[in-house]
Amino acid sequence: MSTLNRPKSPHTPTTIKKGDKEDSFWDKFSTLGRKRGTREVKKIQEEGKYAIDSPGSPNQYDIPPEDYALREHEQRAVIDPQSTNDPEVLKLQRILIDWINDELAEQRIIVQQLDEDMYDGQVLHKLWEKLTGKKLDVPEVTQSEQGQHEKLNIVLKAVNHTLGFHQKIPKWSVASVHSKNIVAILHLLVALVRHFRAPVRLPENVFVTVVIAEKNAGVLNAQKFLEQITSEYDDLGMRCEKDAFDTLIDCAPDKLAVVKKSLITFVNKHLAKLNFEINDLNKDFRDGVYLCLLMGLLGGFFVPLHEFHLTPQDVDQMVNNVAFAFDLMQDVGLPKPKARPEDIVNMDLKSTLRVLYSLFTMFRDYA
């Protein structure tokens, strides 16, 4: 990034021993081989080349010698250099760079390389603030490695909370981002693009080849895996899964009105038991309150009022309400909704219709 005078990330190697606790699979990428004597490094390099280039491994990988310097039972994951030069991977990086630069243009921040400019959390910090409209209390510039880690940890916690990673583990971590792991950084940025519905078209079905090496009994074994970075998306960045509602909204507005009327009738039939009534599917369900109450009525159980926000004060509380309602839907045997809680809060009509129609299908005969 041209406007910030930042120290380069350290190159001191670190390792992960098999059996050590890891935050996620991508922590493995932060592992770097330990320095050994010249003879030992040469011997291990030969072992590694034999393991990777031997029959059964048709492709040869240009892995630096230090990557083979693993201790017993240690693992290392590296990216096949051919993947980094793949036209679709390069295209994805260019689109993400242009998007970041457009978002941060007013702050005169220019990103040139994702791995070099994203690793310390400074650009990510500014990007998160711009996208959310919130402020994060962290130092603007950090000079030390420890300071970088501390800042990046705070920034990633905020990002993960925004993206909804409350329980599941994301495909990035402080260690992987700070070590300039391009796969982890790509996963992170693609998640941000999709969450905030960025006005960009991502190349679909982008894969990279990951090689995982592990040393056992003095022999280095290697396996390769295909890691998917992007899937198929529509114009708004969501996974592209065409269904009847796409057709209704795009091609049959008259029939759409009939469907909406049927769903409103179904909902009001049950909400009337609590003396509630809705008129607009989008607006009336966006805060999640009616959805939580409706789930209790349909499921035949009382929803404790302290479990959700009866009068949500902000978007976060609305999202939490809808997410809680989605959990209740799964508790009664419905599949996890394909929509995100944010889609309901943002009054995305297709998402709201899909959620309500799933309830209608299961409980249409429920008195």
pLDDT grade, residue 245 (50/70/90)?
A: low
CB-CB contact of 305 with 294 (8 Å) = no
- At 316 the pLDDT is 84
* Poorest-pLDDT segment among 230-234, 264-268, 292-296, 316-320: 230-234
Rg (CA), the chain: 25
Instruction: Say yes or no to pLDDT of 28 above 90.
Output: no
CB-CB contact of 208 with 252 (8 Å) = no
Helices 182-195 and 145-163 cross at an angle (nearest 10°) of 40
- At 82 the pLDDT is 84
Model pLDDT for residues 281-315, shown as the tens digit of each residue = 888 999 999 999 999 999 999 999 999 999 999 88
- At 70 the pLDDT is 64
CA nearest to 285, candidates 255, 250, 254, 319: 319
Instruction: Say yes or no to pLDDT of 142 above 80.
Output: no
Model pLDDT for residues 86-131, shown as the tens digit of each residue = 999 999 999 999 999 999 988 889 999 999 999 999 999 999 999 9
User: Cα separations (Å) of 37 from 40, 58, 217?
Assistant: 5, 31, 19
Place of tokens 């005078």: 5
Instruction: Say yes or no to pLDDT of 205 above 60.
Output: yes
Q: What percent of the chain has pLDDT over 90?
A: 34
Q: Which residues, at least 6 apart from 144, have a Cβ–Cβ distance to it below 8 Å? A: none
d(CA 302, CA 328) in angstroms, rounded, equals 11
Instruction: Say yes or no to pLDDT of 249 above 70.
Output: no
Instruction: Say yes or no to pLDDT of 148 above 80.
Output: yes
Instruction: Say yes or no to pLDDT of 40 above 70.
Output: no
The more confidently predicted of residues 230 and 35 is: 230
Place of tokens 């096949």: 80
d(CA 130, CA 160) in angstroms, rounded, equals 16
d(CA 168, CA 225) in angstroms, rounded, equals 22
d(CA 69, CA 72) in angstroms, rounded, equals 10
- At 219 the pLDDT is 78
d(CA 26, CA 2) in angstroms, rounded, equals 28
CA nearest to 244, candidates 161, 357, 164: 357
Average pLDDT of 130-138? 89
Average pLDDT of 140-159? 88
What is the pTM for the complete model shown?
A: 0.53
For the chain, what is the mean pLDDT? 78
Average pLDDT of 153-182? 88
User: Cα separations (Å) of 6 from 123, 152, 182?
Assistant: 11, 14, 19
pLDDT grade, residue 37 (50/70/90)?
A: very low
Average pLDDT of 32-37? 43
User: Cα separations (Å) of 74 from 16, 18, 33, 34, 70?
Assistant: 6, 6, 9, 11, 6
